Chains A and B, each alone.
Chain A
Amino acid sequence: DAKTTQPNSMESNEEEPVHLPCNHSTISGTDYIHWYRQLPSQGPEYVIHGLTSNVNNRMASLAIAEDRKSSTLILHRATLRDAAVYYCLGGGFQKLVFGTGTRLLVSP
């Protein structure tokens, strides 16, 4: 499983876009990039995943670098409900190895 590196914390203002970076330089060619988030006092929640191409869903967008050594989770308009710890993971679907993630603070 790929080791990932994320900033400990980031801050954003409400209704502004947020770009959450992740480095995964040891990722293999078949490893997916997954993002989960964990709101206070809840279990982690799936956000998005991708392999090579950029991906969009109703929650977020995932931009994957061409060399796949880094990726960015994009929240297009942050809301107060997006305040959470965001985890970037590399690997298969069944062996998720969580790091400490990025704590996103959203101010009104």
Chain B
Amino acid sequence: EAGVAQSPRYKIIEKRQSVAFWCNPISGHATLYWYQQILGQGPKLLIQFQNNGVVDDSQLPKDRFSAERLKGVDSTLKIQPAKLEDSAVYLCASSPTLYEQYFGPGTRLTVT
């Protein structure tokens, strides 16, 4: 079974630029999550989708972050404009709902 795919794996941008991350969940998984993991900390949930609807985006900084899940499958997370404190690993996870979450390898973002 293929795992959660994420791209790119690494991204370096300057502050105030925009960036987008892509996630392809495990086939058939209805629930998709985006997490932010700052160095030395555990992952923090940004947004949760159930199919293509948002279930929880309470910790998403909506003034600069946006996310969508097209047709209930792939998802993109965008940051515009980026700040230095957005430097982190962005993790995508999926689950077949009410079961364990499967995480992708993450995208390491460096904002200079």
Task: Give the interface size bracket for B toward A.
Answer: 20 to 34
**Segment 54-77 of A: residues with Cβ below 8 Å from B:** none
- Closest residue to A89 on the B side, CB-wise? B42
With known contacts A94-B97, A96-B101, A98-B42, A44–B56 Cβ distance under 8 A: no
A65 to B87, CA, bound (A): 39
Count of inter-chain pairs, beta carbons less than 8 A = 50
**Segment 71-108 of A: residues with Cβ below 8 Å from B:** 87, 92-101
A102 to B54, CA, bound (A): 32
A contacts, CB < 8 Å to B: 34, 41-46, 49, 87, 92-101
B contacts, CB < 8 Å to A: 4, 31, 40-45, 48, 55-56, 91, 93, 95, 97-106
